[in-house]
Chains A and B, each alone.
Chain A
Amino acid sequence: MKLYCLSGHPTLPCNVLKFKSTTIMLDCGLDTTSVLNFLPLPLVHSSRLSKLPGWVSKDGTVNLEKELKECAGRVFVDSQPEFCLPERELLDLSTIDVILISNYHCMMALPYITEHTGFTGTVYATEPTLQIGRLLMEELVNFMERVPKAQSATCWKNKEIQRMLPGPLKDAVDVWTWKRSYSMQEVNSALSKVQLVGYSQKVELFGAVQISPLSSGYSLGSSNWIIQSHHEKVSYVSGSSLLTTHPQPMDQSSLKNSDVLILTGLTQMPTANPDGMLGEFCSNLAMTIRAGGNVLVPCYSSGVIYDLLECLYQFIESASLGTTPFYFISPVANSSLEFSQIFAEWLCHNKQTKVYLPEPPFPHAELIQTNKLKHYPSIHGDFSSEFRQPCVVFTGHPSLRFGDVVHFMELWGKSSLNTIIFTEPDFSYLDALAPYQPLAMKCVYCPIDTRLNFHQVSKLLKEVQPLHVVCPEQYTQPPLTQAHRSDLMLELQPPPMPYRRCSVLNLPFRRRYERVYILPELANSLVPSEIKPGISVATVSAVLHSKDNKHTLQSVPKPPPVPPSKKRKRVIEEPPVVLAPKPLLSGAVPLEAFLATLQKHGITEVKVEETADGHILHLQAEDTLIQLEEDGTHIVCDNNEPLRKGV
């Protein structure tokens, strides 16, 4: 059993597991941090961005004025943002049988994998994962396509040139493999390969292994996966949460007794407490509004935003923000809010019971009804005429490189009254802000990452007791910035097996048994004999029938009766076709008892000779020699009669 690791990003994993005869891809995460190296895509022409100076190396030998721009001491690529894809050279992607998706954030690379690689398999995901994943992809494509860039920068990718660039561009890896966003057509084609599954549904893959998604508690429809055969069990844990937010709680007990547990998607903010961050979020928001400023919240259009809105729903009245408009701007804002209300089955118990009343499970329905929250597909159109300040705007993309958020950065960045509050943990806020410097706007960083922290995960592992743990190498040492915090790493016995991008791990697995089914008539014909108390033995002679990786044992088929021939009978010439194998013999032959038996059959003249290993019996009348040894009996004779001797 082998694990191929195609992504180095611990929370946006992409691994391939070869197990028995199947090849299973676990998640299909797209590393979007690469976009931080690019210049933002403004929705309306920005004179500031277009006036940025081009970059020329200090000695003047390299001139990439057209491709690279400098802003506040950092260099950005002036081109459509590109993403770092999962490794595609490590193994032949067309051999992948299935792709298991654990949550909608971990499927963004799907079109790159399922299209143009010869992939012919099936993708498994839950319904919310599919629907919301589709929205996120749609949004991404929309963000990119509505502001097309004429030029595409490639010169900087030249190895010789990249070497001379300032950091972090200099250190970016595999820049040649970076790709622009996919098209909607590719998204549709990729998602048409998705097969929906429900929690705890058991899906057979080629009869060889069984896969089953489990609730992971992180987002709507998010799942961990169990991949097992009758004797082996692999658990894949990705993006799980034990906090009580909107999704169904995590199913922990089903992870028990795993041979191997692959652990990814731990919190990216191990030191930030989500509840504390939420409180800080609310207080900063209220402070800014009261001072007459606007609040900008760059966020994904699904996920934590539901919790933020719910939190605000309770907070608005107490903070007397009743008249402040809240805007949610995204091409998929409406869909995301609507979809969140129809997945009752996938929600926590509290929200489920609301549906029985029947009431919408999320309170943002009421915010919309009372006009406190408004949603728009973009800043163009209705929004521009209805827009009032001061206000709170939720919009994407959290990288600040594309989407409507770019417009608000340009609009509000110059005033210190305004505040930007970062809640998504995927991007370093300093890097995200870099191309907007200098900035007067206040910046508040309260990343909310509900995924498991190190304390929770070690408790979980103690409970479910996997034999081996595999995890990204990042989890086996403390974070670089906090090297002394040995509590921010995984410490396990035996130590976890670390992986990095392009690793190929041999998982410590010895398969020893397989399941076969004995057909009833064969089972009936077995004659067990008790060898030791409690242990019975029966010999099984059967035909092994293997089909679809299922093995059955059938009785040895009886030969078809010989058609009666009209010629003279040649019975003698017919070989004994019935190959009913004789039972296997075991044990040694006790001499005394054997002699007694012989006597019973009228054989009395027996000469017994002692040899080194046993005895030789000479049956004189029959001209037969019988060698009795510890582990064998050899009968030498002239005719067949004495052959009927049992043991």
Chain B
Amino acid sequence: MPEIKVTPLGAGQDVGRSCILVSIGGKNIMLDCGMHMGYNDDRRFPDFSYITQNGRLTDFLDCLIISHFHLDHCGALPYMSEMVGYDGPIYMTHPTKAICPILLEDFRKITVDKKGETNFFTSQMIKDCMKKVIPLNLHQTVQVDDELEIKAYYAGHVLGAAMVHIKVGSESVVYTGDYNMTPDRHLGAAWIDKCRPDILISESTYATTIRDSKRCRERDFLKKVHESIERGGKVLIPVFALGRAQELCILLETFWERMNLKAPIYFSTGLTEKANHYYKLFITWTNQKIRKTFVQRNMFEFKHIKAFDRSYADNPGPMVVFATPGMLHAGQSLQIFKKWAGNEKNMVIMPGYCVQGTIGHKILNGQRKLEMEGRATLDVKLQVEYMSFSAHADAKGIMQLIRMAEPRNMVLVHGEAVKMEFLKGKIEQEFSIDCYMPANGETVTVTTNPSVPVDISLNLLKREMALGGPLPDPKKPHDQILKLVSSEQALKELGLNEHQLRFTCRVQLQDPHSDPDTLHRIYTHLKSVLKGYTIQHLPDGTVMVESIVIKVSSSAEDPNTKVLLLSWSYQDEDLGSFLSTLLKKGLPSGLC
């Protein structure tokens, strides 16, 4: 029996360094190649030695697919392709291909230039790695080779995020990457057709959350920002340069306009302009409303939001600053945080998920004293707010996707084990399908049961369809290709003659009637016994049961002794022998 195997090298019962191996129909596919934000050592990258202990990545993998540009999904890409060594095809959507190298370069700069790490990938490696990338369009069916085909679906989440459908023969797997089932201010909702994959591999970041309506959260967010500004505080919003940042910018921009607010909004350096430009050029990937109106008013041209300079952080008076990165683990957002943490008038709003080990994660868990580099500690006095704006599907959304795709099995990744456990139970209960949640390095094996495609002769098919009855004995000669043809044609093609095996049986019967009467009595009798069979009384003095012929003749000696001749072919052996036994017992007297 064919099997599909799924092994997470990262993101198994964890969030971060997404990397999932799938073996399907003899093909090996790697899904995502991310890094872990919570670690600075080897655990930062997926464990490629799982593969490399048996040989080179290029020999093992048929392709690598990146779902979107977040570093926990693509951060290990240059490491994998240039340092571990992989020369096969890498697939990602156009926006991902455009934005991914910028984030990688950013990541590299922070790690190498700021933290001084060596033995890390270089700018050139990022460039070389991107050369191996083949862009994917939505819904385009890409033939990786003769057997393996992949197709991308819209996933929401961030610009260019995609879910992928992987198919070999009649077996298939869908990998969701990160997705969002509710449209937001700049992106649409994820969508997939009823593709009935053998396995659906889904993220489960918010496996236990059912989030309230987006509108409420937005109102909450605006209220908090507004209050803080009113009392003269500074608001820090740590974000990643692309994605949530744009959504919140649109939100604040419209709010500032409506309320006629004057406090400055800044966006941390560098990426802003560029990032917004990407959104303008890839406007087809945003939501319908923005797409429809972009000619008149491009939503990504902001009036109130200006570029941030490091010196502004010490300016007096209220302000709102969007700064990168989003989990307060390094860079500008961390610097500003350190500056503002001591003042209780200030506020930090964490608009997304923070992985374990980051400062973002610590303060969200209520930690008020932070150990910084060296021995210094930092007292956190400012208000800490958490607003889930990250565009992940919540439990409801995940169930909705399952309903859309109708998978035969589920695999959960990219989530915390406890939460997964809960969702797993719910899925198994509601959909009665198997749900797995493998840990890193653990393999899930699912047996599939594909049907065998064969070619049938059109004549035979039409004949059978017209008949609406059970199929006779079509044959299929095994050549390289499988064909189904009618038995006559098959015998002809093979140069064989059909061999008819017929049996004729004499049954003696005592029946004081004329031959035709006897025949009619037999007919009536059989009719009553053999319901559901075709029984015909033919004018030439025979009764046909299906293809069995029954004739009656009187014996020469005794006109009351009738001799029945039953004749049937080998195909009707069962029925024939049944009939002869039945008739041997004579006819019931009650018949007329």
A585 at the binding interface (Cβ < 8 Å): yes
A538 partner, pick from B281, B295, B464, B475, beta carbons under 8 A? B475
Question: Which residues of chain B in 427-469 are interfacial with respect to chain A, using CB atoms and an 8 Å cutoff?
Answer: 449-458, 461, 464-465
Assess whether B477 is in contact with A535, with CB atoms less than 8 Å apart: yes
The residue in chain B whose Cβ has the minimal distance to the Cβ of A638 is: B506
A639: B residues at CB distance < 8 A: 505
A600 at the binding interface (Cβ < 8 Å): no
A622-647 Cβ-contact flags toward B at 8 Å (1 or 0)? 00000000111111111110010001
Assess whether B476 is in contact with A633, with CB atoms less than 8 Å apart: no
Task: Please count how many residues in chain B sit with their CB below 8 Å of the partner chain's CB atoms.
Answer: 79
A202 partner, pick from B135, B141, B461, B532, beta carbons under 8 A? B141
Complex interface: stretch among A37-45, A299-307, A571-579: A571-579
Task: Please count how many residues in chain A sit with their CB below 8 Å of the partner chain's CB atoms.
Answer: 85
Complex interface: stretch among B306-314, B398-406, B493-501: B493-501
Assess whether A537 is in contact with B490, with CB atoms less than 8 Å apart: yes
CA distance A576 to B576 in the complex (A): 10
A144: B residues at CB distance < 8 A: none
Of B450, B473, B497, which is in contact with the most chain A CB atoms at under 10 Å from its CB?
Answer: B473
Assess whether B471 is in contact with A643, with CB atoms less than 8 Å apart: no
Assess whether A356 is in contact with B502, with CB atoms less than 8 Å apart: no
Given A342-B284, A356-B97, A631-B497, check contact A199 B137 (CB 8 Å). yes
B504 at the binding interface (Cβ < 8 Å): yes
CA distance A643 to B579 in the complex (A): 14
Query: Total number of A-B contacts with CB less than 8 angstroms?
Result: 234
Complex interface: stretch among A279-287, A452-460, A514-522: A514-522
A511: B residues at CB distance < 8 A: 458
B98 at the binding interface (Cβ < 8 Å): yes
CA distance A537 to B491 in the complex (A): 10
Assess whether B473 is in contact with A551, with CB atoms less than 8 Å apart: no
Q: Return B491 CB to nearest CB of chain A, in Å.
A: 6
Assess whether A552 is in contact with B580, with CB atoms less than 8 Å apart: no
Complex interface: stretch among B106-114, B176-184, B219-227, B566-574: B566-574
Q: Return B286 CB to nearest CB of chain A, in Å.
A: 10
A231 at the binding interface (Cβ < 8 Å): yes
Q: Return A571 CB to nearest CB of chain B, in Å.
A: 11
A581: B residues at CB distance < 8 A: 470, 472-473, 571
The residue in chain B whose Cβ has the minimal distance to the Cβ of A213 is: B140
B573: A residues at CB distance < 8 A: 582, 643
Assess whether B505 is in contact with A638, with CB atoms less than 8 Å apart: yes
Question: Which residues of chain A in 320-345 are interfacial with respect to chain B, using CB atoms and an 8 Å cutoff?
Answer: 334-335, 338-339, 341-345
A578: B residues at CB distance < 8 A: 574
A257 at the binding interface (Cβ < 8 Å): no
The residue in chain A whose Cβ has the minimal distance to the Cβ of B571 is: A582
B455 partner, pick from A361, A515, A631, beta carbons under 8 A? A515
CA distance A577 to B471 in the complex (A): 16
Q: Return A344 CB to nearest CB of chain B, in Å.
A: 6
Assess whether B461 is in contact with A514, with CB atoms less than 8 Å apart: yes
Binding site for B on A (CB under 8 A): 127, 197-202, 212, 230-231, 334-335, 338-339, 341-345, 352, 355-356, 358, 360-361, 511-520, 523, 528, 531-532, 534-544, 546, 551-553, 556, 572-573, 575-589, 630-640, 643, 647
Q: Can you report 27 A-B residue pairs in the complex whose CB atoms are below 8 A from each other?
A: A339-B295, A342-B283, A344-B281, A344-B282, A345-B94, A511-B458, A514-B461, A516-B461, A517-B451, A517-B452, A518-B452, A537-B490, A540-B471, A540-B474, A541-B472, A543-B471, A553-B471, A572-B581, A575-B532, A576-B578, A577-B532, A582-B570, A585-B501, A636-B506, A637-B503, A637-B506, A643-B577
The 3 closest A-B pairs by CB, nearest first: A632-B500, A517-B451, A513-B455
Binding site for A on B (CB under 8 A): 94, 97-98, 135, 137-143, 151, 274, 277-278, 280-284, 294-295, 449-458, 461, 464-465, 470-479, 483-484, 487, 490-491, 494, 496-506, 529-533, 570-575, 577-578, 580-582, 585
Given A342-B284, A531-B477, 5 extra CB contacts under 8 A? A343-B284, A572-B581, A575-B532, A631-B498, A637-B506
